[in-house]
Amino acid sequence: MAHDNYLSLISLSLDGLLTKDEQFSLEMHLQSCSACMYAWEQMSLVDRMFAMPIEVAPPPDFKSRVMEQVSGYEQRRNLYPWMTLIMTTILLVAMMSIILPILFVTLGLYRMLFDIPVIGMLLTRLIEIHAQIMAFIGTVGVSASHWISFLTTDPMALAVIVTSLVMLSIWIGMHEAFKLQTTSEFSAQSA
């Protein structure tokens, strides 16, 4: 038998799992092999060390802590169907709030609203106001666009704007300096 196999037999021997023949063969080998005998002694020492029955006691409140966790788990489990129901409802409402208006417009259902006496009149008026606002915004937008393109393409106009901005900033600076001076004089008089 190979040398390594005897080392394996030592472990099995410590667990009392060798047959008589295997045990005899191991004992014979140990007598002639000092390396294996050394391994046997070392493993036996380990075996003796672990054979000592030492028990540790769990904390006195261990059971109650486990049962607290179990109760917490049960509470969460009981809440789960309700939470699922609430979350599903919220999801459905959110989906409806997106899908319904889209369907309402794409299927042309909004036209039916104009046949209802008061609502129809209000809707017509709202659409008119909306159209007027959009027309106004359009006019202002077009006019602003013309002005911007005029000011940025004409060098003279650009020069006028830059000069105006410079003068404006100088005026603001002077105004702030004057305010600061007035405030400090006033404070000095009060003191």
Q: Shortest Cβ distance from residue 68 to other proteins (Å)?
A: 9
CA 120 – CA 114 distance, rounded (Å): 4
| Exposure class string for 66-83: b at 16+ Cβ within 10 A, else e | eeeeeeeeeeeeeeeeee
The tally of CA atoms less than 13 A away on the side-chain side of residue 98 is: 5
Instruction: For other proteins, give the closer residue by CB, 45 or 83.
Output: 45
Q: Shortest Cβ distance from residue 104 to other proteins (Å)?
A: 47
Q: Shortest Cβ distance from residue 76 to other proteins (Å)?
A: 11
Q: Shortest Cβ distance from residue 32 to other proteins (Å)?
A: 20
Two structure tokens written together for 188: 């000095």
Instruction: For other proteins, give the closer residue by CB, 69 or 153.
Output: 69
Instruction: For other proteins, give the closer residue by CB, 27 or 74.
Output: 74
Instruction: For other proteins, give the closer residue by CB, 68 or 176.
Output: 68
CA 18 – CA 122 distance, rounded (Å): 100
- Tokens 């659409």 correspond to 127
What amino acid is encoded at 32 in this protein? S
Instruction: For other proteins, give the closer residue by CB, 48 or 130.
Output: 48
Q: Shortest Cβ distance from residue 56 to other proteins (Å)?
A: 5
CA 40 – CA 124 distance, rounded (Å): 102
Question: Within 10 A of 157 (CB to CB), how many other CB atoms are there?
Answer: 13
CA 169 – CA 154 distance, rounded (Å): 23
Q: Shortest Cβ distance from residue 24 to other proteins (Å)?
A: 20
Instruction: For other proteins, give the closer residue by CB, 47 or 123.
Output: 47
CA 149 – CA 141 distance, rounded (Å): 12
Chain residues binding other proteins by CB under 8 A are: 7-8, 10-12, 14-15, 17, 39, 42-43, 45-59, 62-63, 65-67, 69-71, 73-74
